[in-house]
Structure 1
Amino acid sequence: MAYVISEDCVACGSCISVCPVDAISEGSIYKIDPSLCIDCGSCADACPTGVISQAQ
């Protein structure tokens, strides 16, 4: 399952630099492309606000 970013994202950018496959796109709320996400969890570990989790 891919990871997702909730609407509580503060767009700090911490997750983008740690994604090994560039699956995260910037915006007012960042988005993860599920077709690119490899489920490594690096983004969730890097998120200081804890708004990234595995999709259900």
Structure 2
Amino acid sequence: MERRLVTIVCADVAGYSRLIGPDEEGTIARLKAYHRVVKPIVLRERWVLLTPAYREHDAVSP
């Protein structure tokens, strides 16, 4: 079994509830735009990107 050192990062959006309330579509669009910027970096570095917060509660299984 291959072992790898893993770092887990959990990012929080400050004021998410305040932002999502009056402008749900705009807030989700901004989060998706951020994801489009981050994803190529994640792939290049061979990191693993788990479910973004703006998606429904998807389960991650091994």
Q: Which has the higher helix share?
A: 2
Q: Which has the higher strand share?
A: 1
Report the TM range for the smaller structure's normalisation: under 0.3
Q: Give the structure, 1 or 2, with the largest relative contact order (CA under 8 Å, sep 6 or more).
A: 1
The structure with the largest alpha-carbon Rg is: 2
TM-score normalised by length of structure 2: 0.27
